[in-house]
Amino acid sequence: MHKIAYLFIGREQPIFSTRAHVFQIDPNTKKNWVPTSKHAVTVSYFYDSTRNVYRIISLDGSKAIINSTITPNMTFTKTSQKFGQWADSRANTVYGLGFSSEHHLSKFAEKFQEFKEAARLAKEKSQEKMELTSTPSQESAGGDLQSPLTPESINGTDDERTPDVTQNSEPRAEPTQNALPFSHSSAISKHWEAELATLKGNNAKLTAALLESTANVKQWKQQLAAYQEEAERLHKRVTELECVSSQANAVHTHKTELNQTIQELEETLKVKEEEIERLKQEIDNARELQEQRDSLTQKLQEVEIRNKDLEGQLSDLEQRLEKSQNEQEAFRNNLKTLLEILDGKIFELTELRDNLAKLLECS
């Protein structure tokens, strides 16, 4: 299949590409999905201008894991928010794509519907072109071939078709009526024999095509029954997935709440870290203050010791001062006594002087 894919890709151009996980339905169970790619791969829409067809192709390395031609009867179904599928009767399988987001799934589905409609229009134009090209050949074959082909006419025997041709050729082969030369009549007979052989060959081909179409119809009916069964199973699966989706929504809601809680805790943690940083600064400041306090305490102790020494010296000086004051008081008292005595002596000397003076005056 991958050789065929490379052959077609060589003359086709991708018109839309996306990435998805590729799955195929299990051919044995027709129920389970089998992954055909270990990781997300590129899935592309291709347009073949020579054949006027649209195809979906995906390569995993050198292997073509999707090679699906879009037909008007195909339907792309979204089974969940990120998963979609479609059935390919030619490949006799069902493809599934898992996308990373709902937007990618919606875009792929829109392109599928767009190219499906384009394939339908291309098929209608092709059929109209075939009808137009087949009309001149039917008219040249005679009046009986101008009507559309039916299964009865296709399955008719050669003997049933022979009289019509001979009836058409007999008037021309009758020498008495048309007065034609014998050689000319023989040429006409050969011409109609060749036409008859051509019609027999076409009849055989159409009969084989009808048999093949009948076999294909039976096969399509079987595939349709299988698809209907698969559709019922998928419907049940969709119901299950919807339940799972509701649970997923609950999980998503819980996850959102957890994310909000985590965000709040992160903000709280950030606040706590800022507070811890502030407390560290305060601790550093407190340590500096403690060091200053210890230094001041040591200085205070030194001052207290010095103060005690000064108090001792002051007490000693006070004692000495008191002793000195006492001594001064005693000296003052003694001096006062001495002054009193000196005053007495001076008074006596004064009296003595006065007496001496009087004695001098008297002498």
- pLDDT at residue 176 above 90? no
What is the rounded average pLDDT of the residues 313-331?
Answer: 89
**Whole-structure pTM value:** 0.37
How crowded is residue 288: how many other Cβ atoms within 10 Å of its Cβ? 10
Q: Summarize pLDDT for 56-105 with one digit per residue, the tens.
A: 999 988 888 999 999 999 999 999 999 999 999 888 899 999 999 999 99
CB 94 within 8 A of CB 230: yes
pLDDT at 168: 37
**pLDDT tier, 209 (very low <50, low <70, confident <90, very high otherwise):** confident
**What does each C-alpha distance from 31 to 15, 25, 175, 179, 240 come to in angstroms?**
32, 7, 74, 77, 14
pLDDT at 22: 95
- pLDDT at residue 181 above 50? no
**pLDDT tier, 210 (very low <50, low <70, confident <90, very high otherwise):** confident
Q: Compare 276 and 170 and report the one with higher pLDDT.
A: 276
What is the rounded average pLDDT of the residues 197-213?
Answer: 81
SS (H, E, C) 231-265: HHHHHHHHHHHHHHHHHHHHHHHHHHHHHHHHHHH
DSSP conformational letter for 291: H
Among 60-64, 104-108, 320-324, the range scoring the smallest mean pLDDT is 60-64
User: What percent of the chain shows pLDDT beyond 90?
Assistant: 24
Burial 131-145 (b: 16+ CB within 10 A, else e): eeeeeeebeeeeeeb
Q: Is 89 helix (H, G, I), strand (E, B) or coil?
A: coil
- pLDDT at residue 225 above 90? no
Among 32-41, 134-143, 216-225, 294-303, the range scoring the smallest mean pLDDT is 134-143
Q: Give the Cα separation of 178 and 192 in Å (integer).
A: 17
* 1-125 belongs to CATH 2.30.29.30: yes
pLDDT at 266: 87
Q: Compare 272 and 176 and report the one with higher pLDDT.
A: 272
CB 196 within 8 A of CB 165: yes
**pLDDT tier, 7 (very low <50, low <70, confident <90, very high otherwise):** very low
**What does each C-alpha distance from 284 to 275, 323, 345, 356 come to in angstroms?**
14, 57, 86, 100
DSSP conformational letter for 144: G
Burial 199-222 (b: 16+ CB within 10 A, else e): beeebeebeeeeeeeeeeeeeeee
**Residue in this structure with the two tokens 């003359």, named with its chain if needed:** 11
- pLDDT at residue 179 above 60? no
What is the rounded average pLDDT of the residues 188-194?
Answer: 79
pLDDT at 142: 44
Q: Give the Cα separation of 242 and 236 in Å (integer).
A: 10
Q: Give the start-end residues of each E strand in the chain.
A: 13-25, 33-35, 41-48, 53-60, 63-69, 77-78, 83-88, 93-98
Q: Give the Cα separation of 197 and 190 in Å (integer).
A: 10
pLDDT at 5: 43
Amino acid residing at 58: S
Q: Summarize pLDDT for 139-173 with one digit per residue, the tens.
A: 444 444 333 333 333 334 333 333 333 333 333 33
User: What percent of the chain shows pLDDT beyond 70?
Assistant: 80
Q: Give the Cα separation of 27 and 357 in Å (integer).
A: 175
- pLDDT at residue 54 above 80? yes
Hey, what are 3's tokens?
């050789």
DSSP conformational letter for 27: T
> What sign does the CA torsion over 242, 248, 254, 257 have?
negative
Give the CB-side neighbour count of residue 268, counting CA atoms within 13 A.
6
**pLDDT tier, 191 (very low <50, low <70, confident <90, very high otherwise):** confident
Among 131-135, 246-250, 343-347, the range scoring the smallest mean pLDDT is 131-135
What is the rounded average pLDDT of the residues 237-263?
Answer: 78
Q: Compare 219 and 179 and report the one with higher pLDDT.
A: 219
Average pLDDT, the chain: 78
